[in-house]
């Protein structure tokens, strides 16, 4: 299906009150689309949707998309389903592998069934975790993947996302569903919760509180952090485009940075006096935890599909996150005057 952005399509976003989902809802409404956000509010928050709540082209439903029938009903008349609802965060995956596997598999299957029944294009959230420990950076979609053994629960997330990708290729092949898998790399921005262990919101909060900044391992591992505004632009363009059915596409930024450099950068931008401490992996996660030492995307496939390049630098994004984190403190100070 080709959706002309000017004409306005009907989008359903699962996980619509979450970090990426809420930014996407805002962007899609601004691009003239109608948006229904579905969320069970287990990780998402209605407050994330404050800027679109009450807009005539936006609505939200509280519902568990892993339950049979829920999505099927809500997707009636949908042109595009963006399936973002998932159990996320390495911390949660290590602590609750059973729930992670079940949530990710059940929700993806129901979302694809809904797309099939309602003839909607569907974009499925996958993850750069799928590349596992591969050292062939920057990662390309057709590269081999290298996962660790099944007794290390971290890899259950990658495996559940891989099954999601296999399904998102099987449905186009067997049932003619228009499905694309999006492999997200590290995405950051305002509204990202520190609850699930993600590094940037944790470091920012630690720095602002003057607490030690906890670098896991020796901090030499690298990541590329993409601004959520760039990520949702890519999702919106993919939703509006006919490109990529039955394919997998990377979405991420290019500048690689070590986690130790990241800690220093956040300390500098916040003006914090926090000390930076190294925490061994087995204390941070679990004994035998395996980190991914380098992770960087090759986004040339995405850039061939849609007119997209990441716009924001890491400094721009960190400044936006820090400003957002400081707003409640500033408001409290004004209220106290």
DSSP secondary structure letter of residue 188 = E
| Contact region with ligand UDP (CB under 6 A), list: 31-39, 197-205, 227-235, 237-245 | 197-205
Q: Is 199 in the site for ligand UDP (CB under 6 A)?
A: yes
Q: Which two tokens stand for residue 290?
A: 């395996």
Q: Is 198 in the site for ligand UDP (CB under 6 A)?
A: yes
Is 157 assigned a catalytic role?
A: yes
Q: Is 223 in the site for ligand UDP (CB under 6 A)?
A: yes
Q: Looking only at residues 76 through 95 of this chain, which bind ligand UDP when binding is defined by CB under 6 A?
A: 90
Hey, which bits of the chain come out as E strands? 10-14, 34-39, 58-62, 80-83, 121-127, 179-184, 187-188, 213-216, 222-224, 226-227, 247-251, 256-258, 276-279
Q: Is 154 in the site for ligand UDP (CB under 6 A)?
A: no
Among residues 262, 256, 153, which one has the least CA distance to residue 214? 262
Considering just the CA atoms, what is the radius of gyration of the chain in Å?
19
Q: Residue 134 CB, nearest distance to ligand UDP (Å)?
A: 14
Q: Is 214 in the site for ligand UDP (CB under 6 A)?
A: yes
Among residues 110, 104, 134, which one has the least CA distance to residue 122? 110
DSSP letter string, 261-312: HHHHHHHHHHT--PPEEEE-HHHHS-TT----S---B--HHHHHHSS-----
Q: Residue 126 CB, nearest distance to ligand UDP (Å)?
A: 13
- Of residues 12, 112, 147, 215, which one binds ligand UDP by CB under 6 A? 215
Q: Is 291 in the site for ligand UDP (CB under 6 A)?
A: yes
| Contact region with ligand UDP (CB under 6 A), list: 1-9, 165-173, 211-219, 233-241 | 211-219
Residues 6+ apart with CB under 8 A from 4: 240
Among residues 76, 131, 157, 196, which one is catalytic?
157
- Of residues 11, 19, 131, 216, which one binds ligand UDP by CB under 6 A? 216
Q: Is 161 in the site for ligand UDP (CB under 6 A)?
A: no
Q: What's the Cα-to-Cα distance from 297 to each of 54, 143, 147, 329, rounded to whole Å?
A: 37, 11, 17, 36
Q: Is 321 in the site for ligand UDP (CB under 6 A)?
A: no
| Contact region with ligand UDP (CB under 6 A), list: 9-17, 92-100, 208-216, 301-309 | 208-216
Q: Which is nearer to ligand UDP, 251 or 259 (CB)?
A: 259
Distance CA 244, CA 260 (A): 37
Residues that bind ligand UDP (CB under 6 A): 90, 186, 197-199, 202, 214-216, 221, 223, 259, 291, 295
């Amino acid at each position: 299906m080709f959706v002309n952005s000017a004409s306005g399509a009907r989008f359903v976003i699962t996980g619509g009150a979450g970090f990426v989902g809420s930014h996407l809802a805002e962007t899609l409404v601004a691009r003239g689309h109608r948006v229904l956000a579905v969320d069970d509010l287990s990780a998402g928050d209605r407050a994330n949707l404050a800027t679109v709540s009450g807009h005539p082209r936006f609505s939200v439903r509280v519902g568990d998309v892993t339950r049979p029938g829920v999505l099927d009903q809500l997707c009636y008349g949908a042109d595009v389903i963006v399936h973002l609802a998932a159990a996320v965060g390495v911390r949660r995956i290590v602590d609750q592998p059973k729930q992670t596997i079940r949530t990710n598999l059940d929700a993806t299957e129901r979302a694809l069934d809904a797309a099939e029944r309602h003839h909607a294009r569907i974009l499925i959230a996958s993850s750069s975790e799928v590349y596992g420990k591969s050292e062939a950076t920057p990662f390309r979609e057709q590269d081999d993947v290298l996962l660790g053994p099944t007794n290390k629960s971290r890899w259950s997330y990658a495996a559940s996302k891989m099954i999601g990708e296999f399904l998102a290729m099987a449905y186009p092949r067997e049932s003619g569903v228009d499905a694309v898998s999006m492999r997200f790399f590290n995405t950051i921005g305002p509204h990202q919760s520190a609850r699930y262990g993600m590094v940037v919101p944790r470091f920012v909060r630690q720095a602002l509180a003057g607490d030690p900044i906890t670098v896991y391992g020796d901090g030499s591992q690298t990541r590329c952090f993409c601004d959520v505004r760039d990520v949702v632009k890519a999702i919106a363009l993919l939703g509006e485009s006919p490109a990529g059915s039955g394919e997998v596409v990377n979405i991420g930024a290019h500048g690689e940075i070590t986690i130790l450099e990241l800690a220093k950068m956040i300390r500098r931008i916040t003006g914090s006096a926090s000390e930076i401490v190294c925490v061994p992996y087995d204390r941070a996660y679990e004994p035998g935890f395996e980190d991914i030492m380098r992770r960087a995307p090759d986004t040339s496939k995405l850039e061939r599909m849609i007119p997209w390049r990441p716009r924001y630098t890491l400094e721009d994004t960190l400044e936006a996150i820090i400003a957002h984190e400081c707003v409640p403190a500033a408001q409290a100070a004004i209220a106290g005057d």
